[in-house]
Amino acid sequence: MVKSSILGYPRIGADREWKKALEAFWAGKLEESAFENQLQDIRLNHLRKQKERGIDLIPVNDFSYYDHILDTAAMFGIVPKRFAYEGGAVSLSVYYGMARGTKEATASEMTKWFNTNYHYIVPELDGATPALTENKPLNAYREAKEKLGIEGKPVIVGPLTFLKLSKGYDASETDAWLDRLLPLYVQLLTELAEEGVQWVQIDEPILVTKVSEADIERLRNIYGTINKAVPGLNILLQTYFESVESYEAVVQLPVQGIGLDFVHGGTANLAAVKQFGFPSDKVLGAGVIDGRGIWKASLREKLSLVQELAGLVSADRLIVQSSSSLLHVPVTVGKETKLLPELRGALAFADEKLEEIVLLTKALNAGEEAIASEIEQYEKDVLALRESSQRNRGDVKQAVAAISAGEPSRLPFEERHIAQQNKWQLPILPTTTIGSFPQSAEVRKARQLWRKGEWSEAQYEAFIQEQIDIWIKLQEEIGIDVLVHGEFERTDMVEFFGEKLAGFAFTQFGWVQSYGSRCVKPPVIFGDVAFEQAMTVEETKYAQSKTNRPVKGMLTGPITIMNWSFVRDDITREQIAYQLAYALRQEVEALEQAGIGMIQVDEPAVREGLPLKEADQASYLAWSVKAFRLTTATVQPETQIHTHMCYCEFHDMIGSIEAMDADVISIETSRSHGELIHSFEENTYKLGIGLGVYDIHSPRVPGVEEMTNMIDRALRVLDPKLFWINPDCGLKTRGQEETVASLRNMVEATQIARNKHAVQV
């Protein structure tokens, strides 16, 4: 019989109860025992739901108190020395200290999980002596079995992936570190086998990236050692997000099953299975339901695919499953009551994907006729959206085709820079912020009253202007050179624009985890995108009227809006990016016409969308750069274009960043402790740049000396005449007191740097 499974389920709960529990605990409003009980209730509810829906192999240990990579590091006692860890099970205070920082210690670095909008905490191996502190997968297995009678499938991050995603060691130490980690994996898996566990899912998504011959040999050693130590334990080696590299070698590893993504790596994985076959002694985990997208599957197409696979692998050796963990999609469509019928009918979130997996499994086991009515309904739902007027706007398609036919460009930077310096007369090392300021409970309450209709448009506008007044004055008092209006009218940097553009829809409860307790509700780009009216001009003009210093207009760029949204799957992402660029270009022009001479078009998510396959990366970067330039290239030379990027490693795309041709780019570097500066030690960069000098994701207030050191190192390799000083990201999630204190320190550090470099303002 064919079995069904998923690779993981969303942690946050349908009402974000997980997030609320974490934040209550951090705020001291929830005792640790009550916190543990609440998380257990959430965890068991998720397992119960999968059991009731009919999933055969239910994952356990996919639940986390913050992040699954952090969990793995804690389980192996890999804790940076600055957290004063003394061995044994890692306490919640140390665990959350690593994630969020403490007053005494900076948080560990956070970076993106492959090419998703999820971010993990980077393990720091330097100085660590790993040991198995607690068998978390075993605890999760026991809990599911004892509480719900579920024979769970423990999920573990594999040794090679864990090591490749860690920092604090030299490449020459790779094998030495594997020698330290592998016995711990063997110990963990031995305890699982002794408990009677049948299947363990070991995630090795690193195998969809470029792997060397040395890595293949390491895999043979890792899984050969494991197989020899626990020969009776079934290991499902799981890959996802793309097609597996070195297919022939991977499927011959001594494991009992291989999981492949037949959605995001579908064509290549299927071709490999057809060309090279699939071992008759292994189970195939067929990831046929999209774990990252929100669209209802065409059951007819998916059934055709799994039937094809069933012709290559015997029924008792086939598992129908999601292409990746469902961590990346919202929990359920069931609560969405305000969407257009044709849109709602075409959506499938985590719970609906469980249904799709079960239906396909049923069809394979009982015959296609067993789900005939469901196939027909699904096809109707998919077709209704495809034929809707929102997806077939001729005016948008024609205009976008026209503007994207050429290559957008401005005057050379050197000429623009002179014009801008003459206009703005800024001091050396100008200071600014990234855009948003703290959104207090008062701000959130005001927005809620306005959205509910309890406040009039005039009341809400007056309130927003009051907040702008407060923060314009504060910025002037602190000594910031280039100001921002604070974005108090915006809930989210993508949602705000999506609400004002055609082609977008918004869910009520479509939350997904971005990092830690930070949840986002991505817009849904379901139709052709079009500009309808000015979106940011009113607030920016008002802020500029309150100061003689320049105020930046603030927009989110086309690639970030696309990458932080759920996008339609009937046209290419390049086409979607150009539609967004055309709409945003009209907003840029409206700001310039309103007298705003500095405009920031943020692109923090360009790196996140970079394809995992090297062969696809150049094309993506080329059209991403083009989309940015389509947005910004029509302004006058003296209008200064800023952009911002964060959370990412940029050493492999410095050329593309420069090709965006922004007058000033600010880049996050604080959480990587200045490592990004190394990229500029090896590469010349001739445009304006600001490297974030402190981490806004941690509640601590950084000291002046700490920021001064960051500035000094940057100025060893970057031109002071082109260098800007700023935080590493927006300040929306921080409190007013810490924000003001941090910015005062930043300005003081700037003045020290100006004096140190013998440049008097």
Catalytic residue among 119, 328, 642, 697: 697
Q: Is 706 exposed, middle or buried (0-12, 13-18, 19+ CB in 10 A)?
A: middle
Question: Which pLDDT band holds residue 68 (cuts at 50, 70, 90)?
Answer: very high
Q: Is the pLDDT of residue 163 over 80?
A: yes
Flag the least confident range among 176-180, 246-250, 475-479, 710-714: 710-714
| 3-state per-residue secondary structure call for 224-255 | HHHHHHCCCCEEEEECCCCCCCCHHHHCCCCC
Confirm whether residue 206 is marked as ligand binding.
Answer: no
Residue 17 DSSP SS3 = helix
CA 119 to chain centre: 5
Strand segments (E) across 290-371 = 318-322
What is the model's pLDDT at position 651? 67
User: Do the annotations mark residue 495 as ligand-binding?
Assistant: no
First to last CA, the chain: 77
- How confident is the model over 270-295, as a mean pLDDT? 97
Residue 509 token pair = 């409860």
Cα 691 to Cα 533: distance, rounded to the nearest angstrom: 34
Q: Is 668 annotated as a binding residue?
A: yes
Residue 449, pLDDT > 60, answer: yes
pLDDT on residue 672: 55
The reply, when asked if residue 145 is annotated as ligand binding, is no
pLDDT, tens digit, 9 for 90 and up, residues 305-318:
999 999 999 999 99
In order of 443, 471, 520, the CA distances from 446 in angstroms are 5, 17, 20
645 or 64: whose pLDDT is higher? 64
- What pLDDT shows up at residue 761? 40
Mean pLDDT of 355-380: 96
pLDDT band (50, 70, 90) for residue 671: low
The answer to whether the annotation marks 648 as part of a ligand binding site is: no
- Distance, in Å, from the CA atom of 304 to the CA atom of 285, rounded to the nearest integer, reads 16
pLDDT at 716: 84
Contact between 693 and 431 under an 8 Å Cβ cutoff? The reply is: no
At 467, the amino acid letter reads Q
Percent of the chain with pLDDT over 90: 85
Residue 436 annotated in ligand binding = yes
The answer, yes or no, to whether residue 760 has pLDDT greater than 50, is: no
Other CB atoms within 10 Å distance of the CB of residue 506: 15
Condensed to tens digits (0 to 9), the pLDDT of residues 34-50 reads: 999 999 999 999 999 99
> What six digits make up the tokens of 42?
């959430």
By the 8 A CB rule, do 21 and 39 touch? yes
- CATH code, 411-756: 3.20.20.210
CA 756, CA 754: separation in Å to the nearest integer? 6
Question: Which residues, including other chains, have CB under 8 Å from residue 669's CB and lie 6 or more apart?
Answer: 675, 676, 677, 691, 692, 693, 710, 728
Residue 487 among known ligand-binding residues: yes
Burial class (CB in 10 A: 0-12, 13-18, 19+), 308: middle
Q: Above pLDDT 70, what percent of the chain?
A: 97
State yes or no: 682 annotated in a binding site: no
**Whether the predicted pLDDT of 266 surpasses 80:** no
Ligand-binding annotation for 112, yes or no, is yes
The radius of gyration of the chain's CA atoms, rounded to the nearest angstrom, is 26
Q: Which pairs with CB-CB distance under 8 Å and at least 24 residues apart come from 439-443?
A: 439/488, 439/732, 439/733, 440/735, 440/736, 443/467, 443/488
Mean pLDDT taken over the chain: 94
Q: DSSP for 94-105? A: HHHHHHH--SSS
Given a contact cutoff of 8 angstroms between Cβ atoms, the answer to whether 79 and 98 are in contact is yes
Establish whether 608 is an annotated binding residue.
yes
Residue in 117, 139, 148 with CA at minimum distance from that of residue 65: 139
Q: How far apart are CA 102 and CA 320, in angstroms?
A: 44
pLDDT digits (tens, 9 = 90+) for 389-447: 999 999 999 999 999 999 999 999 999 999 999 999 999 999 999 988 888 889 999 99
Q: With helix as H, strand as E and coil as C, how does 631-669 read?
A: HHCCCCCCCEEEEEECCCCCCCCHHHHHHCCCCEEEECC
Q: Is 119 helix (H, G, I), strand (E, B) or coil?
A: strand
**Is-catalytic flag, 697?**
yes
Q: Is 657 annotated as a binding residue?
A: no
- Kindly tell me the burial class for residue 105, based on how many C-beta atoms sit within 10 Å of its own C-beta (0-12, 13-18, 19 or more): middle
243 is in an annotated binding site: no
- Residue 673 is predicted with a pLDDT of 47
Domain parsing of the chain, residue ranges: 411-756
Q: What is the pLDDT of residue 498?
A: 94
Helix ranges, 407-532 (H)? 413-424, 441-451, 457-478, 495-498
3-state secondary structure of 486: strand
Name residue 457's amino acid.
E
**Closest Cα to residue 379, out of 304, 485, 431?**
304
pLDDT over 60 at 272, yes or no: yes
Q: Using CA atoms, how far apart are residues 675 and 34, in angstroms rounded to an integer? A: 40
- pLDDT tens-digit readout, 493-549: 898 999 999 999 999 999 999 999 999 999 999 999 999 999 999 999 999 999 999
367 φ/ψ angles, rounded to the nearest 5 degrees: 100, 150
Asked whether residue 18 is marked as a ligand-binding residue, the answer is yes
* SS3 label, residue 736: helix
Res 650: pLDDT: 63
Tens digit of each residue's pLDDT (9 = 90 or more) over 545-586: 999 999 999 999 999 999 999 999 999 999 999 999 999 999
* Contacting residues for 345 by C-beta, under 8 A, at least 6 apart: 296, 381, 384, 385
**CA angle (699 as vertex; 698, 703 as ends), nearest 5:** 90
Asked if 80 and 27 touch (Cβ cutoff 8 Å), the reply is no
Q: What is the mean pLDDT of residues 733-741?
A: 89
pLDDT for residue 318: 98
